[in-house]
Amino acid sequence: MALDKPYKDVPGTTIFDAEQSRLGYHLNQFCMSLMKPENRARFKGNERAYLDEWPMTEEQKQAVLALDLNRCIALGGNIYFLSKLGATRGKSFQQMAGSMTGLSEEEYRKMMVEGGRPIEGNRYIGEKR
Amino acid sequence: MARITASIYTSHVPAIGAAIDHGKTGEPYWQLVFKGYDFSKQWMREHKPDVIFLVYNDHATAFSLEIIPTFAIGTAAEFKVADEGWGPRPVPDVIGHPELAAHIAQSVIQDDFDLTIVNKMDVDHGLTVPLSLMCGQPQAWPCPVIPFAVNVVQYPVPSGRRCFMLGQAIRKAIESFDPPLNVQIWGTGGMSHQLQGPRAGLINKEFDKRFLDMLIADPAHLANMPHIEYVREAGSEGIELVMWLIARGAMADVNGGKPPRVAHRFYHVPASNTAVGHLILENT
């Protein structure tokens, strides 16, 4: 019997549930390894070689190399793990979050200062604004 | 006997910690956040507790995907400040209170909450940012802290109702500890925010205001709110707010006592990606 997942109709949102976690296990554990300075140095020295030490899919590795966070999340990544990757690449949390929205860094920052993304029109997929 | 004198609620945005650590608190952007905590730092000096029971979530720091405990109590004598990828925050290590923590674990598990007991754990911004906001930049934190980590990273996370009931069990546990300690319980995280996907940057001021109103006046009703409402209305990371219900459940009025006094209330948008909410409730 299918489990109840009422969050599937929230637009622009992937909930990191047990299913996503299973898909992204190695991707997220790779990110976790970047909490150690020596691993960050090795990764920065040769990103591809470091990634190849992990049993991740080729698609996951490409998403990491491109720092395509939306793609990483679709492939099982979680933002709190991915933040370690962003930190290693010198990105702040705001730069990381903004990179997923299609806005420029400046546009995203401005949206936040002006009160953030409004809830109206953003509750359900296909909702009319 | 030990008693809970107050509960404190605050967001724990990592950028707030970075602003403090890098001396940016005087910048206009950050002044708007920190002015909401001027009263709190003064209040903290006047109401110094013996122990802080600090409810927070670990952000894939101490707990990777290897082990994901729903509720974890830190029973160690000391907790190191974690390196989350930018290097450890330059703040004091956290001194624990193993005797009270072990007592709470014993009592709360016997009350049917299956806590994970953690004797070695680094603590991340979820725990250290609230301490910085309330205590400034001291050489050492003002008192021992018991870290209590809640899984709000991988779904399903515990429900608001269960968190509220857990708070009640924690109050009972603390009040059965013989030494006459003054204990504060802090609930951290939130308020509305979403850090991922094309909907990142979501803020819902009306939701946040209603949440604060209900947390003060009718927490039992608020505790019935399902997960999906947090996700839809407050953003995927807004779910952290369930942790505030643990602290609120530990207040005296939930057990037939008098309603708490609202010593302080503050709300501001934004700090980085997040709406900042803050309350101090005193047991009277």
Per residue in A61-72, pLDDT (tens digit) is 999 999 999 999
For B253, phi then psi, to 5°, come to -65, -25
| pLDDT band, very low/low/confident/very high, at A128 (cuts 50, 70, 90) | low
What span, in angstroms and rounded, lies between the C-alpha atoms of B84 and A87? Answer: 8
B197 to A12: CB separation less than 8 angstroms, yes or no: yes
Q: Which two tokens stand for residue B174?
A: 């603390």
Residue in B29, B195, B206 closest to A79 by CB: B195
For each successive 10 residues of chain B (284 residues), what is the average pLDDT?
Answer: 98 96 96 98 98 97 96 98 90 98 98 98 97 98 98 97 98 98 98 97 98 98 98 97 98 98 98 97 97
Listed in sequence order, the residues at least 6 apart from B276 whose beta carbon sits closer than 8 Å to its beta carbon are B10, B11, B13, B16, B33, B36, B191, B266, B267, B268, B269, B270
Q: What would the pLDDT profile of A71-84 be if each residue is shown by its tens digit?
A: 999 999 999 999 99
Whole-number pLDDT of residue B26: 95
Q: Within 13 Å, how many C-alpha atoms sit on residue B143's CB side? A: 18
Check CB contact under 8 Å for B199 and A12. Answer: yes
Residue spans of the domains in chain A: they are 15-89, 92-129
Angstrom distance (rounded) from CA B204 to CA B272: 15
**So what's the pLDDT on residue A2?**
79
Measured over the CA atoms of residue B152, residue B156, residue B160 and residue B165, the dihedral's sign is negative
Overall pTM surpassing 0.90 (yes/no): yes
> Is the CA virtual torsion B256, B261, B262, B263 positive or negative?
negative
* pLDDT at residue number A3: 82
- Residue A108: other Cβ atoms inside 10 A: 22
CB contact under 8 A, A83 and B84: yes
CB B117 within 8 A of CB B105: yes
Q: Is pLDDT above 80 for A103?
A: yes
Contact yes or no for A129/A121 (Cβ under 8 A):
yes
Contact A70, A13 (CB under 8 A): no
Q: Is residue A121 over pLDDT 80?
A: yes
Question: Active-site residue B125, yes or no?
Answer: yes
Q: Sorting pLDDT into bands at 50, 70 and 90, what band is A129?
A: low
Class at the top of the CATH hierarchy for domain B3-282: alpha beta
> How many Å apart are CA A22 and CA B131, to the nearest integer?
34
Q: Quick one: closest CA in B to A76, which residue?
A: B154
Across the interface, do A119 and B197 touch by the CB < 8 Å criterion?
Answer: no
Question: pLDDT value at position B156?
Answer: 94
Determine the residue among B267, B273, B274, B276 to mutate to test chain A binding: the one whose Cβ has the most chain A Cβ atoms within 10 Å: B273
Q: For residues A41 and A47, what is the distance between their CA atoms, to the nearest angstrom?
A: 10
Answer yes or no: do B275 and A116 touch at CB < 8 A: yes
Residue among B170, B48, B64 at smallest CA distance from B109: B170
Percentage of chain A beyond pLDDT 70 is 98
Q: What is the ipTM of this complex?
A: 0.95
Identify the residue among A17, A40, A117 best suited for mutation to test binding to B, counting B beta carbons within 10 A and taking the highest: A117
Does residue B268 contact residue B133 with C-beta atoms inside 8 Å? no
State the catalytic residue, choosing from B12, B103, B125, B278: B125
Q: Which residue has the tokens 């209330």?
A: B265
Assess contact for A100 and A14: CB atoms under 8 A.
no
CB A70 within 8 A of CB A87: no
Span A15-89: which CATH code?
1.10.700.10
